Amino acid sequence: MIEIVCNDRLGKKVRIKCNTNDTTGDFKKLIEAQTGTRWNKIVLKTWYTIFKDHVSLGDYEIYDGMNLELYYQ
C-alpha cells in the first residue's frame, strides 16, 4: 500500500492511500471520496504528463510519497 499526495495549488492538499495495481480512474474515485469533486472532472498531472484513466499507477511508476498535481476540467 502506498500513499500519494495530491495538491491543486489552490489550498486543497489530500493524501490518498491506494495500491500500485489500482488504475488512475480508481485513484480519481478515491480522490472524489475525500474532496467531493466529481472523478471525471479531475485531471492528474506531473510536469507535462497527463495520466490516462485505464493505466495502473505501477505502470506510470508512481511510488510511495510521490506528489501529483491536481487540476479540474
What pLDDT is stored for residue 67 in this prediction?
A: 92
Q: What is the dihedral angle through the alpha carbons of 22, 55, 53, 69, rounded to the nearest 10 degrees?
A: 80
Instruction: Select 2-72's CATH number: 2.30.29.30, 3.20.20.70, 3.40.50.2300, 3.10.20.90.
Output: 3.10.20.90
pTM: 0.89
**Residues 62/55, Cβ–Cβ less than 8 Å:** no
CA distance 4 to 22: 12
Task: Using CB atoms within 10 Å of the CB of residue 26, give its burial: 0 to 12 exposed, 13 to 18 middle, 19+ buried.
Answer: middle
pLDDT tens digits along 21-35: 999 999 999 999 999
* Domain residue spans of the chain: 2-72
Chain segment 13-63, per-residue pLDDT in tens: 999 999 999 999 999 999 999 999 999 999 999 988 899 999 999 999 998
